[in-house]
Structure 1
Amino acid sequence: MIQTRRPAPLAGPLLLLGALSLAACAGPAIPRAAPPRATAPPPTVVRPVQNNALIGSSADAVGRMFGKPRLDVTEGAGRKLQFAGAACILDIYFYAPRAGADPVATHVDARTPDGRNAEVNSCAQSIQR
């Protein structure tokens, strides 16, 4: 006679508990929110707030007026040319008025050699070639 082994009395409930535990792990996936779409920032438009003879001029045109700059500094999208004469120092800042356009003078500062403010147009005339 062949004897069959009977499972231990706790084997059935333990198998059921294990199966239920595994089924809980394989539950439905939790939907995840889609990441927000990256949008390009609106194009930057630089509008000059000054009114002097140099606003709107290109760096080449300014170079023809004043010669070689004492300083030529590029930082990010901007460029600064500095010209100096005996009476004053002139800083001209260039930015593109819109994406893809050539940079133009959008701001001009003038000062005396000791740091006091100077009038832009008269300073430019005194430095001009």
Structure 2
Amino acid sequence: MKPFAPAALLLLTLGGCATTSVPRPTVSRAIPVALPTLGLEAVMGQNAAHLTQTFGQPDADVREGTARKLQFSSAICILDAYLYPSNGHAEPRVTWVDARQRDGSSIDRASCVAALNRRTGGK
């Protein structure tokens, strides 16, 4: 049995060197989700003149380079419309809209547009 001892020792030594594959955790990538624009037809793609005609004078008009932000408010919410130049248009058009309640909490953008459309006599 002595001749098998070195072979057994060699097998035990090599067994300790065996590698095991540890599965790597999968990394999920964020999938961009488009926010719905249903109910935003009066705003998306419109120019500043159309927004002013629809909602009245903005409460804030901020310009930075070629970009512009118009802010409109009602008793219910505040709407920020971001206008950027576009290749097919001479003047900036709305490409993004943010909305929030007056206390800063979230509100559906289309609901805010509807509230601004319903206001009468200003704010």
Alignment of 1:95-114 (within 5 A): 95-98=84-87, 101-114=90-103
Normalised by the length of structure 2, the TM-score is 0.60
Give the fraction of aligned pairs with identical amino acids, expressed as a percent. Answer: 41
What RMSD over aligned residues (CA atoms) do the two structures have, in Å? 1.7
Q: 2:111 is matched with which residue?
A: 122
CA distance 1:100–1:62, shift in 2 (3 Å) = closer
Give the Å deviation of 1:98: 2.1
Consecutive unaligned residues in structure 2, runs of 5 or more? 1-33
Secondary structure at 1:127 match in 2: helix
Consecutive unaligned residues in structure 1, runs of 5 or more? 1-48
Whole-Å separation in 2 of the counterparts to 1:100 and 1:73: 20
Query: Which runs of structure 1 show a deviation greater than 6 angstroms over 4 or more consecutive aligned residues?
Result: none
Give the number of aligned pairs: 81
2:61 matched to 1:66?
Answer: no
Letter in 2 for 1:98: N
Give the Å deviation of 1:112: 0.3
- Structure whose alpha-carbon radius of gyration is higher: 1
